[in-house]
Amino acid sequence: MSFAAMMLAGLLIDALIGWPSWLFKRIKHPVTWMGWLVDLCDRKLNKGMRAQQLIGGVLTTIALILATALPAYLLQTLLPANAIGILVGGILAWPFIAARAMHEHVQAVARPLLEGDLPAARQAVSMIVGRNPEALDQQGIARAAIESLAENTSDGITAPLFWGCIFGLPGIAAYKAINTMDSMIGHRTPRFEAFGKAAALLDDLVNLLPARITGFLFAVASFHRFKPALKAMRQDAHKHRSPNAGWPEAAMAGALDVSLSGPRSYDGHITDEPYVNPTAPPPLAQTLAQGLSLFRRTMALTGLALLALSLV
């Protein structure tokens, strides 16, 4: 069975309907189920001295991967090796792909920002970034939303599709489990620095190639800005605080000819971080709309790549 064809089916289903609110109200979402298990492990295993917390974090990481990958593997073995199997596999992969949700969340920021409604734009951007929205002006809102769009294109779309193409349903489910753990416990805080270390390191590892692929896809989808996007990646991706997020961010910065990253406010504290593509001007409201257009072209390019892989 072609795993790439399965992933293409999942991407198309997600692009068409996303994850409907009526379905979320009835069964929540698989990521929500993973979150419940992570929270349970946190309450039960995140105790004691640092060594005990490290062991608890490793056990949590193993438990969640097994709890997601094993059922996915068993389901995959039951699928027929034909078009029906690919379609059913695509339906099962669909919840782990977040292309439509990503577009909708960023569009919810772009719409009021273009209309000059900063309070509404701040409220919308607070749904997708962790920094203090009240400290953001128009440029700050646009920058935060574009950075989120770039990073989450990799984490929420390219990476799950990448691992799904390699391992099928177990690959996409296990990746989503790792990414969910990282978002919940992979923080350098007193509570999670030790307990979430295994999840954070594993998340860095599994995103290593997808982040760079995402940057390359942004560059290709930018057409005439291909070379500047590649240049920004080559020169500035390593400056980012994350070993992976800098690649799609730098590529998008070069593709849109704006500067991204740089200082930002978290919990009242200003973090002094370098810019990527620093010689370019800051993003504006119109830049966010251009970023969404680049995202749509990148999704179309991703679909074509999956189609090509499925025909090999």
Q: Which of 9, 25, 174 is nearest to 94 (CA)?
A: 9
Helix (H) or strand (E) holding 302: helix 285-311
3-class DSSP assignment, residue 263? coil
Distance, CA of 7 to CA of 32 (rounded, Å): 21
Distance, CA of 249 to CA of 233 (rounded, Å): 8
CA dist 304 → 16, 51, 127, 282 (Å): 16, 47, 30, 32
Which residues in the chain belong to E strands, given as ranges?
Answer: 260-261, 264-266, 269-271, 275-276
Q: Which of 108, 199, 217 is nearest to 161 (CA)?
A: 217
- Specify the pLDDT at position 212: 97
- Specify the pLDDT at position 270: 65
- Specify the pLDDT at position 153: 97
pLDDT, mean of each 10-residue run, the chain (312 residues): 94 96 92 95 94 96 97 96 96 97 96 94 90 84 95 97 98 98 92 95 97 98 96 93 93 97 67 87 95 98 97 88
Distance, CA of 133 to CA of 216 (rounded, Å): 30
270 — phi, psi (to 5°)? Answer: -90, 125
